[in-house]
Amino acid sequence: MGNKIKIAVIGGGSSYTPELVEGLIARRETVELRELALVDVEQGREKVETIAALTRRMLAKNGMEAVKVTVHFQPDEAIRGASFVLTQLRVGQLKARAADERLGLKYNLIGQETTGVGGFAKALRTIPVMLNIARKVEALAPEAWIINFTNPAGIVTEAVQRHTKAKIIGLCNVPITMHHMLAQMLDEPFEALRLQFAGLNHMVWVHEVNVRGENRTREVIDKLCNGATMTMNNIKEAPWPAALLRALGAIPCPYHRYFYLTREMLEEEQADAKAGGTRAEQVIKVEDSLFRQYRDPQLDHKPEALRFRGGAFYSQVALELIAAIHNDTGAQLVVNTANLGAIQGLAADAVVETNCLVDATGAKPLAFGALPPAMHALTTQIKTYEQLTIEAAVNGDKRAALLALIVNPLIGDAKLAADLLDEVLILNRDYLRPFI
Amino acid sequence: MGNKIKIAVIGGGSSYTPELVEGLIARRETVELRELALVDVEQGREKVETIAALTRRMLAKNGMEAVKVTVHFQPDEAIRGASFVLTQLRVGQLKARAADERLGLKYNLIGQETTGVGGFAKALRTIPVMLNIARKVEALAPEAWIINFTNPAGIVTEAVQRHTKAKIIGLCNVPITMHHMLAQMLDEPFEALRLQFAGLNHMVWVHEVNVRGENRTREVIDKLCNGATMTMNNIKEAPWPAALLRALGAIPCPYHRYFYLTREMLEEEQADAKAGGTRAEQVIKVEDSLFRQYRDPQLDHKPEALRFRGGAFYSQVALELIAAIHNDTGAQLVVNTANLGAIQGLAADAVVETNCLVDATGAKPLAFGALPPAMHALTTQIKTYEQLTIEAAVNGDKRAALLALIVNPLIGDAKLAADLLDEVLILNRDYLRPFI
Amino acid sequence: MGNKIKIAVIGGGSSYTPELVEGLIARRETVELRELALVDVEQGREKVETIAALTRRMLAKNGMEAVKVTVHFQPDEAIRGASFVLTQLRVGQLKARAADERLGLKYNLIGQETTGVGGFAKALRTIPVMLNIARKVEALAPEAWIINFTNPAGIVTEAVQRHTKAKIIGLCNVPITMHHMLAQMLDEPFEALRLQFAGLNHMVWVHEVNVRGENRTREVIDKLCNGATMTMNNIKEAPWPAALLRALGAIPCPYHRYFYLTREMLEEEQADAKAGGTRAEQVIKVEDSLFRQYRDPQLDHKPEALRFRGGAFYSQVALELIAAIHNDTGAQLVVNTANLGAIQGLAADAVVETNCLVDATGAKPLAFGALPPAMHALTTQIKTYEQLTIEAAVNGDKRAALLALIVNPLIGDAKLAADLLDEVLILNRDYLRPFI
Amino acid sequence: MGNKIKIAVIGGGSSYTPELVEGLIARRETVELRELALVDVEQGREKVETIAALTRRMLAKNGMEAVKVTVHFQPDEAIRGASFVLTQLRVGQLKARAADERLGLKYNLIGQETTGVGGFAKALRTIPVMLNIARKVEALAPEAWIINFTNPAGIVTEAVQRHTKAKIIGLCNVPITMHHMLAQMLDEPFEALRLQFAGLNHMVWVHEVNVRGENRTREVIDKLCNGATMTMNNIKEAPWPAALLRALGAIPCPYHRYFYLTREMLEEEQADAKAGGTRAEQVIKVEDSLFRQYRDPQLDHKPEALRFRGGAFYSQVALELIAAIHNDTGAQLVVNTANLGAIQGLAADAVVETNCLVDATGAKPLAFGALPPAMHALTTQIKTYEQLTIEAAVNGDKRAALLALIVNPLIGDAKLAADLLDEVLILNRDYLRPFI
């Protein structure tokens, strides 16, 4: 079996999995696979078996039928022997996400799944489940790396790192998507761009765009000020105000729109919800249609339609990380890991999203120095919100939960926060045993 | 002349001055006065002369006719030879303050004079004038202490400290008012309470209430949760939500209502504005009535009506500080001065409001340690807003100004910030030469 | 019994106790005493009873016969009901101290009881005993303050603070002695001087000498450069090199001579040892003679000869601290307590020696800011040595012990450190159970 | 001419240059050369012309006669157009180094050229000359990178970085030599080892030895404790005491012997000086013999004897760095550059020696976190010494110079420091104009 590895996927029944499989096929020379173990909950049995069947067809088509594809409804067997455990689970499914969105809108607030009250509710539901999985990895495969995609990815990664000994790195497709877009904007190959990312997950800035030693940040900002857009499938395209970009001197990520353009984003969310439904409600439809395609016994490749789902470059970023660790390459990747002093003013154990060197020892952030003051203030606020949320989720601590919502810039008001907290706890009572 | 001192009052024509004079009379034994030099602008001539006359009558009544009361329309002669320079000026008068309030309300925002867009506009107007005065003190009376009451007091004090070598301490009547109220609430003498204040001006918490070695913080919080109120003349009395107080474990200052109860405060401001006018518009009326009384040549004491003006304990706090420096007492007072590490996570030169030991060498903050996370996040945000505002005011830097408004929790949205900034610059164009 | 308090003295049989009693008599109005409980070990029975008898005679002479003087050979009864527990114990007596000194000299090293290998050995012997007492205070008198004089006072205080919940403040007579000497040098009353101390116990500098608002540090340095001396009984009078004082811009404490003038101090120690014996050997003789006087049933006051023992101002500093806490005065005193950010670059829980405001809530250091670089480096080195020593003493950790000696600037060399450690562990095997 | 680059070598007449030329030949495919500009002082004319001739013969032998080899006695023409400026100069030649060594020995101190009084004297001589060169690079080739080998390399690099805008990276062959030795010890290929270096130049530890994801640090320490040696040509082979290695839990660099085994190193230096002369005196002889060989018109390759000179792997480390920048590779290299928070507790602008990712944007340190306490203390001490030395050299500040020597752990005593400083200033008066 040699150096061939086993990868476990928690939440393997996700519609994203074919994207991952496509990546595994493309990289089969650098990451040789022995087994792909798909784990999901019992009520997702039909989905995960559909995915497993499609996966087998995709592998077979590419001469990889030797790779074992297994399906599990308990994580233990899947984790045992795995070198990597990918976590992409969704506690409460899209239904819970839709409820979060509707809760936000009811209060005239953004209900998006990683920021504001939506991200908060999702974090409370997800952290206990993720800690449970991480503790199994700790016990059954202590050398394995958890590669976490589960949102809110920064919070979830920090919770696992703080409360277990499992090795974990958080991933997001935002940095790589920005990288592709900036390469396109500058008409340069992807590899030629050196981008300096520093911030938090879904709240990261590009501080420098460098091409072969030349700093071209100002040029990019000029282009953006002159109408070039850079956005992602699942975030509305509101162009950045030029004054904001010039004042920042850096390029915000698309999710920054929730913080910098709150009013506009809320109006669009409200309009969308009235028209086609909230994002989750739309995704439910997309998923239905995707699974209809996946079930087709003739289908042996990732269907085009998956790209509307929003996970662009998901497999590129996952496979680059797996390859860098597995082959000890020392590649420079943007991941979520402990700060260790890289960003000044954040604690050593705060999880940040920034450029890291990745090899067999894991991911080490490159020292960045201090964020400019306005970015430091927002980062402190969000990181504090995140840590209070983790404290709330782990201990069922209502005081920490209330403070988390008050610190969150999308909420702030204490009475509003108290009302929201009551509703979140009731709506999610099936998932929030620590609070009972 | 011995050890008798001269005090200069910049903004001596303020309606508050009789309060100060009353204090000087009460403390005549500990702070012996030689001269009181009142400085104001030419267009305030009638007011300052009214105040000077009243002051002379008050002094005479108390056998202090030996104290010289002088009036100046240029600060130089007043500053020369002074031991203390009190600054209580108001650039643009109450009219400018009213305009700030109306600007806020137009955008559905709080327009209060020390927080939000109102505080921002006032800071831009005030900082250049205060720097000018501080540079004169530096040159003409380098040993003198500036005692600053000018709002936003924390920002103004930090601007002077950062950009001049003048010795300055910022003062506010919020801490002493809270002290009086808590003493009353606990039915203990004022002197028996040891309160631990730490935060920023108009954003300070009481972290511990200690009486003769016993920590009674929890008892105070319980009382407040059960309906005891603690508020100030010029801030609306919205009782604190119990859940907030218990989550904080500390007692917020009345101005915290703007941050924690934003929605409610805004509604009340809007209702008030419709009814009796904004706060400034009401104060204009109060002032008119006060000056009518001040002009009465029979009046030889502070009229009762002054207490509606809002400056409770103003003279107590000013005189305690002057006495502590002048008599080298080592008293414990709550003032605004450079942090020097007292509050962890803030820069050494950031001005904070906290307990200080005051003697002839000035004010030294007592080491406090780290603020709890949710308070640290808000403090970082406000301090960053303050420092960006200072940078904007000193350099006429529009980028810093825009970021200041974005970082301010009462604004946040970048488009809203840009619109507000445009209006502030136009409304205040007479005072904002650095921006032109 | 009203507000009259009980004070327990651990190590009550010390020859210093009459000094303390004299202080209690002098301050009887501010600190009213109910009971003085003297605790010592069984083998010191004769001494502690001698002290108790003398104490009773001294109290009687001053009309304080109502104060109960009790003797204990177990601390429990003494601690119960005490408001203050003074610790001035000496594990291994002066014999162990003499052995430390001789060990140092054998290796051409300073063997002084608070620095170098002597201080290290004393810390290892003392910490377990002090932790034991502190845990009793925690259990039997949780509201009591431990006032620690036991050397090395900074290390012992930090050990107790780190490993128990007892309330402790460390005291030393160095700062007050310097204060008296500087007052004399400037021909000013003691109360007129405001001295800014910051550093560690027996390694503290005066950074500013201020008299009524005037900075006179340079004048003091000039005087010292021109031959004025300032030293203490038990430290040799080597005048400071002028170049050193001018480069520091601050006034080192007498114990700094061990670090700055190591060669000279060692030569003198060696010469003394040859002549009259080491310091401990001399003190043994002084003590014998003192106790001979103490036993005189006619003696009812502190004998003059005690001042040769070296504890000048011991009672002044102890009583000032007790009075400040007991009467909630807010006095400014120089004590050893947790840094809390007062000195930049040291941990919040590192015990430092610096100006504090003391009231019923305890001692809070005044924020100092950063030490100049050369002082910061030495302080970091000594504090690291101290913390490694505590770790070694508490856990019996030989690796930490070896590193402690290597980090200590009076040792440094790793082979030398290893040899010394072996000898220390053998010489003190009766006291170092954690290492066995 | 395309992408072919020009490299300037300041101190081109050094006997090391053939080593560099050999490297340039070996890497000609990755770093294509257009011109090699050798710069030296007029009095070194014969030497640099000898080197230039040998260089031309070496290049010709390898088919690289197209590369222009130029000789300069002023740096300007050499710097203009260069992509890299290598600095390997020696102010005062080996004669000055020998004088430093003899000065040390006279006082029973280590006189080695990068630590203690020798490193101090060399820094004072070198910094003004290096700043002069850096300012020329700033003006004439602002895009060029200075690659600094000039000792003391950490101090010199920090001086340039602090006082000019030139881009500089400091290099040393210690890390790469340790890497080769550890690979040999573990019988693994060089590339398989991931070593975590963190510290200062000539004072760096290997904190982790990792091979393909496996932490083998303990194994290496065991081997070293059992007699395996790891040392360099020019440092005496005193095996590390096992207790020290186990207490550190890390692998010190050979130069750490000066700090950890001071007594032994001094004895050996003294014995050597008596026997064959000091290190510099020996090197003078080696150099004479080397130059005799270099002058041989038949010689067209680096002579074997150069390896006795001590610069093992010098060309490997230089060329790897040049290639990483020139080809934008993102290689992980150990260099000297600004900390930026990588090592906790050191300033952002302090130059440290640690693992960096190097690409066309320069070198970025990987976040390391906190050094263990004993290493942090030593590092703080040495870094403070370095910064005081820079201050002394740049401003001719005798107070900073005295403090530098007092802070240096190889000196410490203030009187000794004062005497040494006097002698250093006299001995080097031709080079120390800032002090006059």
Write out pLDDT tens, residues B51-100.
999 999 999 999 999 999 999 999 999 999 999 999 999 999 899 999 99
**Distance to chain B for A67, nearest Cα, Å:** 49
Selecting among A16, A255, A294, A431, the annotated active-site residue is A255
* Tens digit of each residue's pLDDT (9 = 90 or more) over C140-158: 999 999 999 999 999 999 9
Residue D374 resides in a domain: no
pLDDT at residue C327 greater than cutoff 90: yes
Of the residues A197, A208, A215, A340, the best mutation for testing chain D's interface (the one with the most D CB atoms within 10 Å of its CB) is A340
Dist. CA D330–CA B239, nearest whole Å = 58
| Inter-chain contacts counted by CB atoms under 8 A, chains C and D | 110
CA distance linking residue B86 with residue B317, whole number of Å: 12
CA torsion, ordered C423, C426, C428, C432, to nearest 10 deg: 120
C235 has a pLDDT exceeding 90 = no
Terminal C-alpha separation, chain A: 48
The CA distance from A366 to the nearest CA of chain D, in Å, is 4
Please name which of C427, C405, C398, C386 lies closest in space to residue C159, comparing C-alpha atoms.
C386
CB atoms near residue D419 (< 10 Å): 14
Is residue C106 scored above 90 in pLDDT?
A: yes
Cβ–Cβ below 8 Å for A259 and B402: no
CA distance D115 to D129: 20
* Cβ-Cβ contacts under 8 Å, C381 against chain D: 377-378, 380-381
Q: Do B342 and C339 touch (CB under 8 A)?
A: no
Q: What 3 state SS string does B74-133 have?
A: CHHHHHCCCCEEEECCCCCHHHHHHHHHHHHHHCCCCCCCCCHHHHHHHHHHHHHHHHHH
Q: CB distance from A241 to chain B under 8 Å?
A: yes
Asked if B114 has any chain C CB less than 8 Å from its own CB, the reply is: no
Report the pLDDT averaged over residues A320-341: 97
Q: Which two tokens stand for residue D376?
A: 């942090």
Residues A339-390 have pLDDT tens digits of 999 999 999 999 999 999 999 999 999 999 999 999 999 999 999 999 999 9
Q: How much is the average pLDDT of D276-292? A: 91
Select from D209, D325, D340 the residue whose CB has the most chain A CBs within 10 Å, as the one to mutate to test that interface: D340
The pLDDT value recorded for residue D86 is 98
Q: pLDDT, tens digit, for every residue of D119-161?
A: 999 999 999 999 999 999 999 999 999 999 999 999 999 999 9
Which secondary structure element, helix H or strand E, spans residue C38, and what is its range? strand C33-39
Length of chain C: 436
Catalytic residue (choose from D255, D294, D314, D385): D255
Residue C185 confidence (pLDDT) above 50: yes
pLDDT, tens digit, for every residue of C65-75? 999 999 999 99
Tell whether A254 is covered by a domain. no
Chain A partners of D328 at a C-beta cutoff of 8 Å? 194, 212-213
Q: Is residue A105 part of a domain?
A: yes
For Cα atoms A372, A370, B411, give the angle at the middle one, nearest 5 degrees.
Answer: 30
Contact (CB<8Å) C260/D378: no
The pLDDT of A23-46, averaged and rounded, is 96
- Contact across the interface for A210 and D360, Cβ inside 8 Å: yes
- Computed over every residue of chain B, the mean pLDDT equals 94
Chain B residue with CA closest to C344: the answer is B341
Band (D1; pLDDT cuts 50, 70, 90): very low
Chain D interface includes A376 (CB < 8 A): no
- A310 sits in the region (left: phi over 0; alpha: psi -120 to 50; else beta) called left
Helix %, strand %, coil % for chain D, to 5?
50, 15, 30
A327: in domain = no
Chain B residues whose CB is inside 8 A of the A377 CB are 380-381, 384-385, 407
- pLDDT value, residue B231: 62
pLDDT of D233 higher than 70: no
Q: Tell me D14's DSSP state.
A: S
Tens digits of residue pLDDT in B358-398: 999 999 999 999 999 999 999 999 999 999 999 999 999 99
Distance of CA A403 to the CA centre of its chain: 24
In terms of Cα–Cα distance, which of B366, B303, B22, B320 is closest to B190?
B320
Nearest to A261 among B388, B403, B415 (CB): B415
b (16+ CB within 10 A) / e for D262-298: bebbbebbeebbeeebbbbbbbbebbeebbebbeeee
What does the pLDDT read at residue C231? 62
As given in the structure block, the two tokens for residue A182 are 């900036």
- The answer to whether C367 faces chain B, any CB pair under 8 Å, is yes
Inside any domain, residue D148: yes
pLDDT per position as a tens digit, D186-216:
999 999 999 999 999 999 999 999 999 999 9
Q: How many domains does chain A have?
A: 1
Per-residue confidence at B432, pLDDT binned at 50, 70, 90?
Answer: confident
Query: b vs e for A152-166, b when ≥16 Cβ sit within 10 Å of the residue's Cβ?
Result: bbbbbbbbbbbbbeb
Q: Is the ipTM of this complex over 0.90?
A: yes
Q: Is the pLDDT of residue C306 over 90?
A: no
A34 to chain D, any CB pair closer than 8 A? The answer is no
CB contact A3 to D (< 8 Å): no
Residue C414 touches partner B, C-beta closer than 8 Å: no
The number of angstroms, rounded, from the C-alpha of D24 to the middle of its chain's C-alpha atoms is 19
Q: Which of B16, B107, B255, B385 is catalytic?
A: B255
C-alpha span between D353 and D151 (Å, rounded): 14
Q: Which of C194, C361, C369 lies closest to B210 in CB terms?
A: C361
B34 has pLDDT over 90: yes
CB D253 within 8 A of CB D178: yes
- 3-class DSSP assignment, residue B55: helix
Q: Is residue A227 part of a domain?
A: no
Residue C1: what pLDDT?
Answer: 40
In CATH, what number is assigned to the domain containing residue A20?
Answer: 3.40.50.720
Q: Which of C241, C373, C398 sits opposite D418 (nearest CB)?
A: C241
Chain B CB contacts of A259 below 8 Å:
412
Please state whether at least 3 CB pairs lie below 8 Å between chains A and C: no
Question: Which residue in chain D is spatially nearest to A343 when comparing CA positions?
Answer: D341
Residue with tokens 């005799």: D292
C347 touches chain B (CB under 8 A): no
Percent of chain D with pLDDT over 70: 96
A16 is catalytic: no
**pLDDT of D231 strictly over 90:** no
- Residue B305's pLDDT band (cuts 50, 70, 90): confident
For A239, name the nearest residue in chain B, comparing CA atoms only. B415
Q: Is B261 on the interface with A (CB under 8 A)?
A: yes
Q: Is residue A51 part of a domain?
A: yes
Task: List subunits contacting chain D, requiring 3 or more Cβ pairs under 8 Å.
Answer: A, C
Chain B: nearest CA to A129, how far in angstroms?
26
Q: Which pLDDT value is given to residue D232?
A: 59
Chain D within 8 Å of A435 (Cβ-Cβ)? no
What ranges in C327-408 are assigned the alpha helix state H?
A: 373-395, 398-407
**Angle subtended by helix axes C279-294 and C45-61, to nearest 10:** 50
Interface-testing mutation among A215, A339, A366, with chain D (most D C-beta atoms within 10 A): A366
CA pseudo-torsion sign D336, D341, D344, D350: positive
The reply to whether residue C413 touches residue D261, judged by beta carbons under 8 angstroms, is yes
| Chains B and D lie in contact, requiring 3 or more CB pairs less than 8 Å apart | no
Which pLDDT value is given to residue C435? 75
Yes or no, beta carbons of C330 and B331 under 8 Å apart: yes
- Inter-chain CB proximity A259 and B376 less than 8 Å: no
Can you give the pTM of this predicted structure?
Answer: 0.96
> pLDDT band at residue D239, thresholds of 50, 70 and 90?
confident
C341 Cβ contact partners less than 8 Å away, ≥ 6 residues apart: B341, B342, B343, B344, B367, B368, B369, C348, C367
Query: Is the CB of residue D71 less than 8 Å from the CB of residue D52?
Result: yes
- The answer to whether C433 contacts chain B (CB < 8 Å) is no
Chain D residues with CB inside 8 Å of C248's CB?
A: 403
Rounded to whole angstroms, the Cα distance separating D352 from D367 reads 12
Q: Residue written as tokens 């400040």?
A: C324
> B259 at the A interface (CB within 8 A)?
yes
- Sign of the torsion angle spanned by Cα atoms C285, C286, C288, C289: positive
What torsion do the CA atoms of B263, B264, B265, B269 make, to the nearest 10 degrees? Answer: 100
Is A55 among the domain residues?
yes
Which structural domain range is residue C41 located in? 5-170
Nearest alpha-carbon partner for B41 in B96, B99, B93: B93
User: E strands, A287-350, where?
Assistant: 331-338
The percent of residues above 90 in pLDDT, for chain D, comes to 90
Higher pLDDT pick, A93 / A146: A146
pLDDT tens figures, D68-97: 999 999 999 999 999 999 999 999 989 999
Identify the pLDDT of residue D296.
Answer: 95
Which of A407, A411, A416, A425 is the best residue to mutate to test the B interface, defined by the most B CB atoms within 10 Å of its own CB? A407
CA gyration radius for chain B? 21
Mean pLDDT to the nearest integer, B185-204: 97
Distances (CA, A) of B80 to B17, B141, B419: 20, 6, 43
Concatenate the DSSP letters of all residues of C231-300 into one string.
--TTS--PPPPHHHHHHHTSEE-GGGHHHHSHHHHHHHHHHHHHHT--HHHHHHHHHHHHHHHHT-TT--
Longest dimension (CA), chain A: 60
